Amino acid sequence: MTEPVFTAPAAFLARRRALHAGLSGPALLAAGEPASRNYPANRYGFRAASHFLYFVGRPMAGSALLFEGGRTTLFTHPPDPEDALWHGPRPNLEVLAAEHGFDAVLPLAELDAVLGPIRATVATLPTQDAPSAAWLSERVGRPVLARTGAHLVDSRDAALADAMIALRLTHDAAAVDQLRMAARMSAEAHVAGMRATRPEGRESDVHAAMLAVLRRHGLDDAYGPIVTVHGEVLHSDTHANVMRAGDLLLADVGGETPEGWAADITRTWPVGGRFSTTQRAIYDVVLEAQYAAIAVATPGRRYRDVHEMAKRTIVGGLVALGIFRGDVDGLLERGAAALFFPHGIGHLLGLDVHDMEDLGDRAGYAAGRTRTTRFGDRYLRLDRDLEAGMAVTIEPGFYQVPGILGDARLTAPLGADLCRDVLAQYADVRGIRIEDDVLITSDGNEVMTSGVPKLATEIEALMRG
Amino acid sequence: MTEPVFTAPAAFLARRRALHAGLSGPALLAAGEPASRNYPANRYGFRAASHFLYFVGRPMAGSALLFEGGRTTLFTHPPDPEDALWHGPRPNLEVLAAEHGFDAVLPLAELDAVLGPIRATVATLPTQDAPSAAWLSERVGRPVLARTGAHLVDSRDAALADAMIALRLTHDAAAVDQLRMAARMSAEAHVAGMRATRPEGRESDVHAAMLAVLRRHGLDDAYGPIVTVHGEVLHSDTHANVMRAGDLLLADVGGETPEGWAADITRTWPVGGRFSTTQRAIYDVVLEAQYAAIAVATPGRRYRDVHEMAKRTIVGGLVALGIFRGDVDGLLERGAAALFFPHGIGHLLGLDVHDMEDLGDRAGYAAGRTRTTRFGDRYLRLDRDLEAGMAVTIEPGFYQVPGILGDARLTAPLGADLCRDVLAQYADVRGIRIEDDVLITSDGNEVMTSGVPKLATEIEALMRG
């Protein structure tokens, strides 16, 4: 295994200083509490809130970070002897402070006393779990609701959210190292997945092979892995289907580093090791759309234009195949793209796979921009002007979703220009998506996930090997 | 892969009828809501509440089951078109009713109207997540707190808990099929783990190999897997250590079937493929204790006696090795066992790996029995008289925990009868545990997890092979 990369304390320190510079009052960020699965002691693997991880780099359940007057203090549970028995010895508070470069590390029990004089001015951000939201409410003396970052009613909290967005929207060098590591290891998982694919095997065989690579590298899942012969179900979460020689397998799988940074990769490959003529034709349309979108994902470009570029390329490709008839502009106008590509071209990537989606569209949409209500486009999660240091996914797709192609409200505007007799020849293409992680650089971009084959011929060669 | 076994609708129907027979009023059981990880749409894999799964067999987030007047009605989200796009088509309510044999399946929106006249009499049990506890509170018109099954203050709820315990304490044939399947597949994972162990590799290599077997079989983790060269840390949850040739590796890993039934297996094996003389000596003491405990885990025996049998065998074995000096009864009296075996001999096993621990000790302890405060024994999770149909784990261990062996309050009663100079020779034994899943039968018991080697020589042979 490759040695994992860890962020140096100095990088965390620099981030904390940068937040201090962006704050006009004190701020309290909570790590959150573990969620119980079926009984209190049986918990999901704890994943701390990203705003906390950004400054600390390790999940410390129940802890909180106070920014005040230029000082950063970590409040955490002091080690206790029972811990040593069940969970191993933990460093004491002085050691933690020294290792992490906090100005102080104090027991959680002292937080209220410290907050006392500044309580009315403290900003905070909710975590995902209700118990720690309730805990935050008690600390700051006003309601803080879980999962509701999208609707920050308190102006202090909104200002803190904006300060966090300003920091996290473009990635520092340490963050880029983490993202590249997640990308590289996740790419390796996709290669293993291609190699593990056999006709008459199950999706779970491939899922298991990919997971094994991530876990060997110490990576958790950044999101629920999709490994399915039914790519047309966008968020399929079962892996029980038997794979047939003529099927395409769609795998949307990405790992998360121990410090919490995500990768997000999709590849679609032929179970039998060779694309059929029809599968290859559509695959090449999606791939062309991806290349075209990546080409325009550069500093200063509006992300919505990247989305439009992908739509245009897909519709153009489908016209060339005879699936659509007419001019591309008119077809786009009439909603042609969303019939086969009903989601957005991508999203921000960082500590969260949809980075800062806990803050709703506040991070993804620039001030003054909002989502459209139009089918397809309304799922676009990002509409900012791209800047060097941002990381985004680029993930066009083609899907034959019965619920869309059978919905007259969506297909009527196309009329006979949607050539269903031609489309019928492509019945062996249920769903294709090709997704890479792209770092915007000052002179263009860098595809961080280039370690996994993408050309149809490359994929076939790998699967034959 | 082996085809998974699914429980027939008739078995679920029989369970529902049995609950009706044990109820004196209506009851509402909720499946619970998914927990968010770092933002609302990024969720932990949803695991429904076991009391719900027991009657339904599949996780249906947000759903609830109403038992009333002999009828069982499932209330659930009706399928909607967005679902079909993102999660695939779902069966409509009539199909669900027919497939599962419910008396009716109704939209959740109709629950309040149905509850109206009986609201004041409805019993319920809390789930683990706060949002569904709040939802239950609104339904039944009184506080229902998450994670607090241990403290059921409402007498209706307590009666429902007791009815559930009466049902789930002994397993029907379908449940036994599920437990055997989980046991068999988890045993296979342990064999794969032994085969994947290499000096200078990492714990995560072994973790990955074991996980791959579980996932290939479609099994989730029944609990957070422990795979560690530091077996003396009882609930170690990291897998990053490099394994050295002289280390023992302790793996406590068990899968959960798609219907939610658990396995719980621990094996300890030598990283280099051969136990040292000292490791083998201690290993054999633990194994002897396990055999002795299993031998007395039979119908009519009190589980605490099984625990005592293990303690006695361990202390006797350590006397034979010269680690303790004196008579076994006196040593036990002075707390000798807990110095090296500080936890309980096991627990109930079923839908939960600690079955029904959401109800606190109400399930694990027979009426009139409570936990002792004595170190070691206070972690015993089960003290009932065993009955045919119960499933329990039997998991003795030996650990050198610095926090225990350095605690004068615990070691003082032993004085010089704890022979530290002899113990020092066993420094290469940090932690050993051997755990199997045992079904109590009318004529004794059945070790369901016998598919994984247990004798030191068997393990060595497998690792050489």
Chain A partners within 8 Å of B131 (Cβ): 130
B86, B239, B402 ranked by CB distance to A218: nearest? B239
Chain B partners within 8 Å of A36 (Cβ): 128-129, 146-147
Give residue-wise pLDDT tens across range A11-57.
Answer: 999 999 999 999 999 999 999 999 999 999 999 999 999 999 999 99
pLDDT surpasses 50 at A1: no
Alpha helices (runs of H) in A172-240, residue ranges in sequence order: 173-195, 203-216
Please state, in angstroms and rounded to a whole number, the distance separating the CA atoms of residues B151 and B160: 13
Task: Confirm if B319 and B328 have CB atoms less than 8 A apart.
Answer: yes
User: Residue A176 to residues A261, A303, A443: CA-CA distances in angstroms?
Assistant: 9, 20, 16
Chain A partners within 8 Å of B4 (Cβ): 240
Give residue-wise pLDDT tens across range B191-230.
Answer: 999 999 999 999 999 999 999 999 999 999 999 999 999 9
Closest CA to B125 of B176, B179, B55: B55
CA distance, residue B281 to nearest chain A CA (Å): 24
pLDDT surpasses 90 at B353: yes
- Could you give the angle at which helices A9-22 and A155-168 cross, rounded to 10 degrees? 140
Name the DSSP letter for residue A267. Answer: E
pLDDT surpasses 70 at A148: no
Please state, in angstroms and rounded to a whole number, the distance separating the CA atoms of residues A253 and A273: 20
Alpha helices (runs of H) in A412-455, residue ranges in sequence order: 420-423
Instruction: Name the phi and psi angles at A183, rounded to 5.
Output: -65, -45
Complex ipTM > 0.90: yes
CB–CB contact A204 B217 (8 Å): yes
Chain B partners within 8 Å of A354 (Cβ): 39, 41-42
Exposure letters B83-118 (e unless 16+ CB within 10 A, then b): bbbeebebeebeebbeebebeebbeeeebeebbeee
- Could you give the angle at which helices A203-216 and A173-195 cross, rounded to 10 degrees? 140
- Sequence-ordered list of residues with C-beta below 8 angstroms from that of B41, at least 6 positions apart, any chain: A354, A357
Give residue-wise pLDDT tens across range A386-440.
Answer: 999 999 999 999 999 999 999 999 999 999 999 999 999 999 999 999 999 999 9
- Give the lowest-confidence range in A85-99, A173-187, A211-225: A85-99
Give residue-wise pLDDT tens across range B167-180.
Answer: 999 999 999 999 99
Please state, in angstroms and rounded to a whole number, the distance separating the CA atoms of residues A330 and A316: 11
pLDDT of residue B147: 72
- The distance in angstroms from the start CA to the end CA of chain B is 22
Strand partners for B439: B391, B446
Please state, in angstroms and rounded to a whole number, the distance separating the CA atoms of residues B436 and B395: 7
pLDDT surpasses 90 at B146: no
CATH 3.50.50.60 holds for B9-168: no
Instruction: Name the phi and psi angles at B446, rounded to 5.
Output: -130, 125
CB–CB contact A39 B223 (8 Å): no
Alpha helices (runs of H) in B117-202, residue ranges in sequence order: 130-140, 155-168, 173-195
Closest CA to B137 of B159, B122, B117: B122
CB–CB contact B353 A207 (8 Å): no
Confidence band, pLDDT 50/70/90 cuts, at residue A3: low
pLDDT surpasses 70 at B2: no
Please state, in angstroms and rounded to a whole number, the distance separating the CA atoms of residues A362 and A383: 10
A41, A352, A403 ranked by CB distance to B39: nearest? A352
Please state, in angstroms and rounded to a whole number, the distance separating the CA atoms of residues B4 and B258: 9
Please state, in angstroms and rounded to a whole number, the distance separating the CA atoms of residues A123 and A146: 15
Give B82: exposed, middle or buried? Use CB within 10 Å, 0-12, 13-18, 19+: exposed
Name the DSSP letter for residue A138. Answer: H
Task: Confirm if B179 and B159 have CB atoms less than 8 A apart.
Answer: no
Strand partners for A71: A68
Is the dihedral angle over the CA atoms B362, B363, B364, B368 positive or is it negative?
positive
Please state, in angstroms and rounded to a whole number, the distance separating the CA atoms of residues A176 and A248: 33
CB–CB contact B357 A41 (8 Å): yes
Please state, in angstroms and rounded to a whole number, the distance separating the CA atoms of residues B316 and A199: 56
Please state, in angstroms and rounded to a whole number, the distance separating the CA atoms of residues B427 and B424: 6
Give residue-wise pLDDT tens across range B270-317.
Answer: 999 999 999 999 999 999 999 999 999 999 999 999 999 999 999 999
Strand partners for A29: A65
The H or E element that residue A399 is part of is strand A397-399
Alpha helices (runs of H) in A226-276, residue ranges in sequence order: none
Give residue-wise pLDDT tens across range A108-118.
Answer: 999 999 999 99
Both tokens of B449, joined, read: 């997890």
The percentage of residues in chain B with a pLDDT greater than 90, rounded to a whole number, is 88
Q: How open is the CA angle A143-A144-A149, to the nearest 5 degrees?
A: 140
Both tokens of A68, joined, read: 């005040």
Confidence band, pLDDT 50/70/90 cuts, at residue A145: confident
A202, A358, A404 ranked by CB distance to B85: nearest? A404
pLDDT of residue A175: 98
Confidence band, pLDDT 50/70/90 cuts, at residue B3: low
Both tokens of B243, joined, read: 């394994």
Confidence band, pLDDT 50/70/90 cuts, at residue B94: confident
pLDDT surpasses 80 at A358: yes
Chain mean pLDDT for chain B: 94
CA distance, residue B398 to nearest chain A CA (Å): 13
CB–CB contact B42 A404 (8 Å): no
The domain ranges of chain B are: 9-168, 173-464
Task: Confirm if A433 and A250 have CB atoms less than 8 A apart.
Answer: yes
Both tokens of A187, joined, read: 């790419």
Strand locations in A230-281 (E): 248-253, 255-256, 265-270
Residue with tokens 């055999």: B291
Chain A partners within 8 Å of B49 (Cβ): 38
Strand partners for B393: B437
Residue with tokens 């605690």: B407
Confidence band, pLDDT 50/70/90 cuts, at residue B78: confident
Give A121: exposed, middle or buried? Use CB within 10 Å, 0-12, 13-18, 19+: middle
Give residue-wise pLDDT tens across range A226-252.
Answer: 999 999 988 888 888 999 999 999 999
Residue pairs between chains A and B whose CB atoms are closer than 8 Å: 189
Q: How open is the CA angle B360-B362-B364, to the nearest 5 degrees?
A: 85
Spacing of C-alpha A271 from chain mean position: 26
Task: Confirm if B210 and B227 have CB atoms less than 8 A apart.
Answer: yes
Task: Confirm if A272 and A193 have CB atoms less than 8 A apart.
Answer: no
pLDDT greater at residue A83 or residue B273 = B273
B37, B211, B354 ranked by CB distance to A128: nearest? B37
pLDDT of residue B443: 97
Confidence band, pLDDT 50/70/90 cuts, at residue B5: confident
The percentage of residues in chain A with a pLDDT greater than 70, rounded to a whole number, is 98
Most A-contacting residue of B29, B36, B38 (CB-CB within 10 A), to test interface: B38
pLDDT of residue A2: 57
Most B-contacting residue of A39, A44, A47 (CB-CB within 10 A), to test interface: A39
CATH architecture type of domain A173-464: Alpha-Beta Complex (3.90)
Please state, in angstroms and rounded to a whole number, the distance separating the CA atoms of residues B82 and A208: 29
Both tokens of B417, joined, read: 């009868």
Strand locations in B319-456 (E): 391-394, 397-399, 431-433, 436-441, 444-447
pLDDT surpasses 50 at B345: yes
Please state, in angstroms and rounded to a whole number, the distance separating the CA atoms of residues A42 and B223: 6
CA distance, residue A385 to nearest chain B CA (Å): 23
Instruction: Name the phi and psi angles at A392, rounded to 5.
Output: -135, 160
Please state, in angstroms and rounded to a whole number, the distance separating the CA atoms of residues B461 and B351: 34
